[in-house]
Amino acid sequence: MKLSVLDHSLIGSGSTAREAFQNTLELARATEQLGYHRYWLAEHHGSGHFAGVAPEVLAAQVAAATSRIRVGTGGVLLTHYSPFKVAEVFRLLETLYPGRIDLGLGRAQGSTDQVTRALAYGASVGPETFPKKLADLIAFLSGTEPASEEFRGLPLRPATEGRPQLWSLGSGEQSAALAARHGISFCFAHFFNPITGAPVTRGYRAQFKPSAQQPAPYSAVSVYVVCGRTEEEARRLGRSNDLLAVNTRKGRAELPIPSVEEAEAYQYSPEELATLEFDRKRLVFGDPSQVKEQLQRMAADFEVDELIITTICHDHRARLRSYELVAEAFALSGATSRRAAG
């Protein structure tokens, strides 16, 4: 089972966006050494707790700071952008870092309607545009004719022999069906939808059509994970997620990741406590053996090839330690070497 990382470039209370990006680079180097397979950067807009507004820029930085781990986006919100421009950017990344680049694509807006309009700046935008944009993007990357007639015969530069690995990201059947139809990889966002992921990912595998991009299905599930030395430690670290979820539901997107102390001091209403029962279903937490058992069970149920882990907590050192503990539990090569050296 391959393990990978999805990083949101976290801004904790009392810290800055610059520190968040520095932490991203440190985490990328550390997880490469631990033996994680790929490192993805998320795209968010108008957020006070997620700093990554341009994952393709961060991907270039991470790829430059590492040497082996695959690097990509989880994902570019293609609804907002020109497929031609996205194809150019990722052909450039593939030219700079051949054989290491992933292009994960999302259908969601990722922010408020006002931000969406600002990103589009007059162009047509919305989830309904995604299927055609995806088809054109695949064509631009593969050198085939795009679905849009006006762009046929359009040369794409830079010229490169390789191409990034393409992924459709989502939390429902539509994203999975598009991935299967186009013959690309699929990642299910369990942290958005902790209920229906298994049938969706199994359906992707059953419906997959081989393509020039890849001959066989390849799927992953992305899940929130907080691992501590003990279950009690993991539960306490996870309290930041509780208050973050409450803030997000109440439209307080400008707030940073709360500290454990802030979360413990917050007075939750009965309605908020009831909502948290659902939110906690999105989170795998516990000591290393508990986390490993839960993740293995999920991977088998979802029939996926890979687990992509997202750890959200206020303290950067605790986040690093969580990834280390998971790597050791799964006996990843780098974690095994580090333990032997220690």
State the pLDDT at residue 205. Answer: 97
101 with 70: CB under 8 angstroms?
yes
pLDDT band at 112 (very low <50, low <70, confident <90, very high): confident
74 with 104: CB under 8 angstroms?
yes
Is 169 in a helix, a strand, or coil? strand
State the pLDDT at residue 144. Answer: 77
pLDDT band at 336 (very low <50, low <70, confident <90, very high): low
How far apart, in whole angstroms, are the C-alpha atoms of residue 169 and residue 76? 9
Please tell me the least confidently modeled range out of 25-34, 140-149, 172-181.
140-149
Model confidence at 110: pLDDT above 80: no
State the pLDDT at residue 57. Answer: 98
State the pLDDT at residue 116. Answer: 78
State the pLDDT at residue 113. Answer: 75
Model confidence at 245: pLDDT above 90: yes
User: In DSSP terms, which residues pair with 226 in a beta bridge?
Assistant: 285
pLDDT tens-digit series, residues 51-93: 999 999 999 999 999 999 999 999 899 988 999 999 999 999 9
How far apart, in whole angstroms, are the C-alpha atoms of residue 327 and residue 307? 12
More confident residue, 223 or 107: 223
Rg of the chain over Cα atoms, rounded to whole angstroms, equals 20
pLDDT tens-digit series, residues 178-235: 999 999 999 999 999 999 999 999 999 999 999 988 999 999 999 999 999 999 999 9
How far apart, in whole angstroms, are the C-alpha atoms of residue 303 and residue 199? 9
Q: Which domain holds residue 207?
A: 2-341
Model confidence at 339: pLDDT above 80: no
State the pLDDT at residue 103. Answer: 98
Model confidence at 337: pLDDT above 80: no
Of 341, 338, 340, 342, nearest to 30 by C-alpha is: 338
What does the DSSP 8-state code read for residue 105?
Answer: E
Model confidence at 341: pLDDT above 60: no
Of 126, 85, 220, nearest to 165 by C-alpha is: 220
Q: Does the reported pTM lie above 0.85?
A: yes
State the pLDDT at residue 74. Answer: 95
pLDDT tens-digit series, residues 120-152: 776 666 667 889 899 999 988 887 777 777 777
How far apart, in whole angstroms, are the C-alpha atoms of residue 69 and residue 95? 16
State the pLDDT at residue 60. Answer: 98
Mean pLDDT of 265-279: 92
Which residues lie below 8 Å from residue 146, measured CB to CB, with a gap of 6+? 83, 135, 136, 139, 140, 152, 154
Question: Quick count: other Cβ atoms within 10 Å of Cβ 48?
Answer: 15
3-state helix, strand, coil in the chain (%, to 5): 50, 15, 35
Please tell me the least confidently modeled range out of 189-193, 204-208, 256-260, 333-337.
333-337
9 with 52: CB under 8 angstroms?
yes
State the pLDDT at residue 34. Answer: 98
CATH assignment at residue 178? 3.20.20.30
Using a pLDDT cut of 70, give the percent of the chain over it: 94
Looking at the 3D structure of the chain, how many domains does it have?
1
State the pLDDT at residue 153. Answer: 74
80 with 120: CB under 8 angstroms?
yes
Mean pLDDT of 305-329: 97
